[in-house]
């Protein structure tokens, strides 16, 4: 059985699909959980878990809720592309409140970042035009941020806030660049980006219980041969994914959008929302063409 944290763990966004799954799986390991969300928790409360309905805008309430916690699993906030004004409060100000609580409690933050923070990187291509990119074409965790919308921009901001709080305050943080976390892949892009629920749960366990993390970035996808992504800090926390999207290749490998923008970039459909360029942006993030 994985190590059980000695202190309670705070989970924001507990009423969402991923939050509910994590609450169930972590409680089954014997963890003491404090759950919170702006929406009611729709399931029976797991053992050793309490739920507080709260807005991330409530900085004082979040400070109180985090008292005595050893880690904060931050899955709260806006989780899809929305107008800037909608994203601003929960994903920017709310994140600040999370980090202030972590600073006061000397707690580690596990931040649900996203592939959409780098979504305008082009997809790697193999010699045969398949999505199996060569290792040299895959991007590593220190690649440039290239967000594909306001949601992705907020996730890039969140990772930079983690960098700031580590450098200035010593707050450890693990940034999970989540690909596509669903029960199973549903289209061809997910053969590269899919993250199984079980691999996410194992990743969160590793991120919380690792002896040290510092500031680190993890490509949060399963063991997919077609992955877009290369090196990260997974060895630092001792995580290796155990599932793979390849089992669904025959079923979903032919399912594409038909949109050249969506199929060009790693962020998929988010890149096409409000897209108004006359021609695609360059592979080099700073090139003129």
Calculate the dihedral angle through the C-alpha atoms of 141, 80, 94, 63, rounding to the nearest 10 degrees.
-90
Task: Tell me whether residue 151 is one of the annotated catalytic residues.
Answer: yes
Bridge pairing between strands 173-178 and 49-53:
unpaired
DSSP H helices in 194-265: 197-209, 234-237, 249-252, 260-264
Q: Would you state the structure tokens that stand for residue 47, as one six-digit string?
A: 């053992």
Note whether 44 and 58 are within 8 A (CB): no
Bridge pairing between strands 215-220 and 173-178:
parallel
Find tokens 């409000």 and name the residue.
274
Calculate the dihedral angle through the C-alpha atoms of 99, 28, 16, 184, rounding to the nearest 10 degrees.
120
Q: Which residues contact 232 (CB under 8 A, 6 or more apart)?
A: 140, 141, 216, 217, 218, 219
Choose the catalytic residue: 99, 150, 151, 265: 151
**Residues tagged active-site:** 151
């Amino acid at each position: 059985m994985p190590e059980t944290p000695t202190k309670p763990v705070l989970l924001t966004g507990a009423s969402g699909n991923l939050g509910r799954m994590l609450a169930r799986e972590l409680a089954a390991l014997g963890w003491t959980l404090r759950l919170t969300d702006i929406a009611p928790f729709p399931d029976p409360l797991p053992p050793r878990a309490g739920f507080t309905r709260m807005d991330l805008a409530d900085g004082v309430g979040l400070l109180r809720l985090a008292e005595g916690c050893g880690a904060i699993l931050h899955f709260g906030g806006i989780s899809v592309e929305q107008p800037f004004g909608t994203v601003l409060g929960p994903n920017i100000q709310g994140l600040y409140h999370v980090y202030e609580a972590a600073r006061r409690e000397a707690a580690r933050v596990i931040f649900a970042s996203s592939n959409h923070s780098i979504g305008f990187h082009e997809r790697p291509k193999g010699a045969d035009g398949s999505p199996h990119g060569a290792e040299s074409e895959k991007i590593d965790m220190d690649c440039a941020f290239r967000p594909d919308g306001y949601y992705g921009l907020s996730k890039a901001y969140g990772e930079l806030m983690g960098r700031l709080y580590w450098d200035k305050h010593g707050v450890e943080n693990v940034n999970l660049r989540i690909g596509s976390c669903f029960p199973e892949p549903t289209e061809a892009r997910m053969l590269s980006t899919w993250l199984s629920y079980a691999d996410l749960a194992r990743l969160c366990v590793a991120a919380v219980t690792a002896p040290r993390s510092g500031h680190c970035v993890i490509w949060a996808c399963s063991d997919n041969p077609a992955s877009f992504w290369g090196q990260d800090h997974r060895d630092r926390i001792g995580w290796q994914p155990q599932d793979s999207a390849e089992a669904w290749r025959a079923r979903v490998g032919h399912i594409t959008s038909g949109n050249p923008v969506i199929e060009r970039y790693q962020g998929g459909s988010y890149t096409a929302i409000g897209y108004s360029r006359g021609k695609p942006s360059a592979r080099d993030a700073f090139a003129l063409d």
